[in-house]
Structure 1
Amino acid sequence: MELIKKGHACVRLAEDGRTLVIDPGVFSEPDAALGADALLVTHEHPDHFDEARLRVAMEANPAAEIWTLRSVADQIAAAFPGRVHTVGHGDTFEAAGFAVEVHGELHAVIHPDVPRVTNVGFVVDGSVFHPGDALTVPERPVETLLLPVQAPWNKFSEVLDYVREVRPQRAYDIHDGLLSDIGVGFFERQLGPGGPGTGGTDHAHLAVGESVSVGPSR
């Protein structure tokens, strides 16, 4: 399975001619959602959910479908009857041939004065976990963790402890759209040999458009 970084919190997973896209938001590449057979959205914040990008992708591929939580589904379902599916914690489903599990319920706390929204994470093919905007520990082992490294709701110690608790084989940065090159370098050092380290997890930062092979071979 090929994983392609599409900017900020968005990734594309491709295998055997099938494409699944997670969280094409306003900080993603403009074409992030195009060509998708299935689209997953973790929550309603615009850096993860851009209705315009989803509409373009759904109109370009009449067979494409979306799986997301109710707060997002309610905003777009009327435009695509029968093609937008509401999911929540504990659900499992198949999207474009990918097996998907839903883990998590709430966005991380930004500040007590900021209302929390719902947030779900997705495990794809039992291997790749995208937690959205939460440090949800999935109720199963995963090989690849998509790691939210920088956000208004986290700090470095929490990011590091999260990797160590999930204990994936590898972690790739997401939620990095606001980082400068200096910030990227900081996380690479601190999560690598130059810092406290991840406790055995391989860590890497992917440039926008960069791809890697992930998941068990079929």
Structure 2
Amino acid sequence: MRLILMRHGETTWNAEARLQGQDNSDLSERGVEQARRFGAFVRALKPARVVSSDLGRTRQTVALIGHGDCPSDARLREWHMGSWTGRTKPELIAAHADLYHAWRAGTYTPEGGEPWGAFRDRVAGGLRHWLAAGEGDLLAVVHGGVIRAALDVFLQLPPARVIPVTPGTGTILSFAPDQFAQAQLEGYNIGAVVPDLSVAD
């Protein structure tokens, strides 16, 4: 069984390098086009089931790829960024470079935010639930942080070692039948020309 993790298309806040967390902004024109283009990958991969985060940017993305009627799950929401929500990556690095990099590594939690371990466990519970809930490949339309958490859970790749995925791309994990503890990586950042290291979650 495969788990296909798609990051939603670029949003207006992504384009501004602004941290969204569990707040929301609409897809940008570029993000709409990214989602539409990824639809060709979805049709080729033919997932048996589709689920998404319940946040607006993922629901907008699933509609654009032809699965707007799929279920959503709050456990697949982005990492809650607390007091850093709405701030830009350049602003945070200029003011708190050490804390920003520690947060990226999962070792620092902004005020009011979600600790990495709690976020990781939330995502793991959601993804394992949907993997076990039916047969065939599963497409989950989620967020950059959720994909990093999945790589930590299923590949033991901590967030400090993962380059952020580009909006509108896919990551594929392969599981042995009924074995959802560990996976093999089939593909990462599929659909992108180059990784976009400047894009904020």
Specify if TM > 0.5: no
TM-score by length of 1: 0.31
Higher strand share goes to which structure? 1
TM-score by length of 2: 0.33
Which structure carries more relative contact order (alpha carbon 8 Å, separation 6+)? 2
Higher helix share goes to which structure? 2
